[in-house]
Amino acid sequence: MMRDLLQYVACFFAFFSTGFLIVATWTDCWMVNADDSLEVSTKCRGLWWECVTNAFDGIRTCDEYDSIYAEHPLKLVVTRALMITADILAGFGFITLLLGLDCVKFLPDEPYTKVRICFVAGTTLLIAGAPGIIGSVWYAVDVYVERSSLILHNIFLGIQYKFGWSCWLGMAGSLGCFVAGTFLTCCFYLFKDVGPERNYPYSMRAPYSTTAMSKAKSYIAPRTETAKIWRT
C-alpha cells in the first residue's frame, strides 16, 4: 500500500535525521582550521569543547569550555539552545512515529487513530527541523562572515576556521526532518478516510426494520365514498 510505503520512507529519514542531529550537537567539529597546509595539527571547535589532533602521531587532546553559566559568545549559546531543542523534538517525533506504524502492535483495531499519530509525528518532525536548520546555518554563516572579514582586512590571527562536518550533519539532519515530516503529513491527508467507516460503508445507513415493513404491509388505505358506490 502507498500509505505503508510513505510511512516506512518517513521512518527511514526520521531515524537518520534524529541521529544526525544528536551526533552534530555532541561532537567537536563545528569549526575546523582552514589552513591545513601550514598546520601540523587539526583543530576543531564544537559547542562544548575544543580538540586538537596531531597530524603525525594522531594523539588527540580536548579542552572543555567553561561552565554553561559562564560568558560565551552569542553564536555558541544560541546554537546550543537551538540544537538541543531540535534533538528533543526529533526524538519525540521519531518515537511517536514508531507507535503509528502499521507493523507495530499498538492500537491494532484503531487504524484511524494510528494515522493521526503519524500526523502528530510528522508535525513534530517539521517543527524539529526549524531550530536545527536555523542553528546550523546561522553558525556556518557566522563562521564564514568572520573568516571573510579577517581576510578582507588582511588580519591574520595565527589560525582561521571554516565550518566542519558537525555543522554539515546538523544541516543534513534538519533537512531529513523536513522530508520525513512532509511525507507523514501528506500521508495523513491522503489516507484520512481510513477507519471503521471505510471498512464498513453501510454502517452509517439507517438499520433495516422488519417491524416497519410489517406495518407497511398491514396498512390498508380506507375506501372513499366513491369507491363504495362503484362496488355497489
Record the cell numbers describing residue 27, joined without a space. Answer: 561532537
**Do 43 and 50 form a contact (C-beta atoms < 8 A)?**
yes
What mean pLDDT is reported for the chain? 75
* Domains in the chain with CATH codes: 9-27+73-194 (1.20.140.150)
Tens digit of each residue's pLDDT (9 = 90 or more) over 29-68: 888 876 655 556 778 888 888 888 776 777 778 777 766 5
**Do 32 and 44 form a contact (C-beta atoms < 8 A)?**
yes
d(CA 17, CA 171): 9
pLDDT of residue 225: 52
**Do 104 and 96 form a contact (C-beta atoms < 8 A)?**
no
Nearest alpha carbon to residue 167 among 144, 149, 187, 150: 144
Nearest alpha carbon to residue 12 among 184, 148, 210: 184
Of the listed ranges 21-35, 133-147, 178-192, the least confidently predicted one is 178-192
Q: Strand order of the sheet with strand 161-163? A: 60-64, 49-54, 41-45, 31-33, 161-163
Residue identified by cell 550533519 is 169
Nearest alpha carbon to residue 117 among 228, 220, 232, 7: 7
Tens digit of each residue's pLDDT (9 = 90 or more) over 173-213: 999 999 999 988 876 666 555 444 444 333 334 444 444 44
